[in-house]
Amino acid sequence: MGFGNMKKIMEQAKKMQQDMLKKQEELKNKTIEVTSGGGAVKMEIALDLTVQSIKIDKDVVDPEDVEMLEDLVLAAVREGIEKAKTIQEQEMSTVTGGLGIPGL
């Protein structure tokens, strides 16, 4: 491997890093919505895993059954994170070429 090849590899790595930073910024601006309880709880989450909002239908607010509401919120959050991570991985693989770089 000559110096020219090493220089080319370093340039490619720098470009990939720049592309990854750009893609991460884009992910902050893309959101998805998930629901639980047949739409009783709605959550909007950005693809950088930042929860943007949680909306709760007033009909599911029962002071006698707080646990059900907690379960619905938890279900929405878990589903949102799972879906956002899947989309995030797909989006990042367009930059990394499917290298499987951890933590992205």
The per-residue pLDDT for range 58-67, each reduced to its tens digit, is 999 999 999 9
Go through the domains of the chain in sequence order and give each one's CATH number: 3-95 (3.30.1310.10)
CB atoms within 10 A of CB 36: 20
Largest CA distance in the chain: 73
Check residue 58 and report its DSSP letter.
G
State mean pLDDT over 40-56: 95
* Whole-number pLDDT of residue 62: 93
What span, in angstroms and rounded, lies between the C-alpha atoms of 97 and 85? 17
* Whole-number pLDDT of residue 92: 84
Q: Residue 33 in contact with residue 53, Cβ under 8 Å? A: no
Closest-CA residue to 71 (of 60, 85, 84, 87): 60
Higher per-residue confidence, 58 vs 12 = 58
User: Which region holds residue 60: left if phi is over 0, alpha if psi is between -120 and 50, else beta?
Assistant: alpha
pLDDT at 87 > cutoff 90 = yes
The per-residue pLDDT for range 65-75, each reduced to its tens digit, is 999 999 999 99
CB atoms within 10 A of CB 35: 17
Question: What pLDDT band is residue 98 in, cutting at 50, 70 and 90?
Answer: low
pTM comes to 0.73
